[in-house]
């Protein structure tokens, strides 16, 4: 099993309004009252008041109950508050409205990773990539899910795609370093390159990786954990 190093960093850094890219749901009429409440929710989220953000999103949803973007945003707040089952229910509701809602699939996959539902995570994240092949985070998480299932080639392909799409994506570089260290024999120079790139992009130093790169040996009992710059 691969523990997640800092689960949902994506949601920590950005308000849940990032989950707006589903084209069909964005065309749903949104009453002005709902727009104002969403703006208040985003402000509360940015200030770290998740309870208030959740309340505002719920009120916005009352004015626009079939709005997939608001459903996913509320689900993101639920996830941040540790209410993963509630989040999943909202995401399923969003997907019933629009099966092409990539952000909903992505967050559903992230939740499944956190819950260690590996098959469900892989299926959801594969859908997220299908809906938006140019989303580096979807490829990163699909790479993590593939790694959990022991599919190292698929994991490398997805993580490499994430870096290709966003060369400044620190967590995808970190995850590639972990993957290369887990190879038999470990691919030390490739691991070193991606680890250094992750550090240059702001990732904290990892003592296990530092030790392994110093020894040029990877031992299974001390495997570094992939980074999860989540939903």
Residue 30: pLDDT band with limits 50, 70, 90: confident
**Would you say residue 61 lies in a domain?**
yes
- Percent of the chain at pLDDT above 90? 78
Mark whether 209 and 184 lie in a shared domain: yes
**Confidence bin at 228 (pLDDT 50/70/90):** low
Range of the domain at 150: 133-231
Q: What is the pLDDT of residue 226?
A: 65
Mean pLDDT of 184-194: 95
* Shared-domain flag, residues 137 and 205: yes
3-state secondary structure the chain: CCCCCCCCHHHHHCCHHHCCCCHHHHCCCCCHHHHHHHHHHHHHHHCCCHHHHHHHHHHHHHHCCCCHHHHHHHHHHHHHCCCHHHHHHHHHHHHHHCCCCHHHHHHHHHHHHHCCCHHHHHHHHHHHHHHCCCCHHHHHHHHHHHHHCCCHHHHHHHHHHHHHHCCCCHHHHHHHHHHHHCCCCCCHHHHHHHHHHHHHCCCCCCHHHHHHHHHCCCCHHHCCCCCCCCC
68 and 147 housed in the same domain: no
Rounded to an integer, the average pLDDT of 211-219 is 65
Determine the pLDDT at residue 225. Answer: 60
Is 59 part of a structural domain of the chain? yes
Summarize pLDDT for 64-117 with one digit per residue, the tens: 999 999 999 999 999 999 999 999 999 999 999 999 999 999 999 999 999 999
155 lies in the same domain as 88: no
Residue 33's pLDDT is what?
Answer: 93
Do 176 and 211 lie in a common domain? yes
Please give the model's pTM, rounded to 2 decimal places.
Answer: 0.81
**7 domain-assigned:** no
> Chain-wide mean pLDDT for the chain?
85
pLDDT tens per residue, range 142-156: 999 999 999 999 999
Between 166 and 217, the higher pLDDT residue: 166
Domain count, the chain: 2
Q: Given 116, 147, 174, which residue is the final one in a domain?
A: 116
């Amino acid at each position: 099993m691969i523990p997640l190093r800092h689960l949902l960093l994506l949601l920590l850094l950005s308000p849940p309004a990032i989950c707006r890219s589903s084209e069909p749901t964005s065309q749903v009429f949104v009453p002005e009252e709902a727009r104002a409440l969403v703006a208040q929710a985003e402000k509360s989220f940015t200030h770290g008041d998740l309870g208030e953000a959740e309340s505002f999103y719920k009120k916005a949803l009352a004015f626009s109950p079939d709005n997939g973007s608001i459903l996913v945003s509320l689900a993101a707040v639920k996830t941040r508050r540790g209410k993963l089952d509630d989040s999943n229910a909202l995401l399923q509701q969003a997907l019933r409205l629009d099966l092409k809602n990539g952000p909903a699939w992505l967050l559903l996959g992230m939740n499944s990773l956190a819950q260690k539902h590996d098959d469900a995570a892989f299926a959801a994240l594969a859908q997220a990539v299908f809906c938006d092949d140019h989303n580096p985070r979807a490829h990163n998480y699909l790479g993590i899910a593939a790694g959990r299932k022991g599919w190292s080639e698929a994991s490398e392909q997805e993580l490499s795609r994430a870096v290709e799409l966003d060369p400044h994506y620190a967590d995808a570089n970190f995850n590639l370093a972990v993957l290369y260290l887990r190879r038999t024999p470990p691919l030390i120079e490739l691991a070193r390159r991606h680890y250094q790139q992750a550090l240059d992009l702001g990732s904290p130093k990892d003592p296990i990786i530092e030790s392994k790169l110093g020894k040029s040996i990877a031992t299974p009992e001390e495997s570094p954990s992939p980074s999860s710059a989540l939903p």
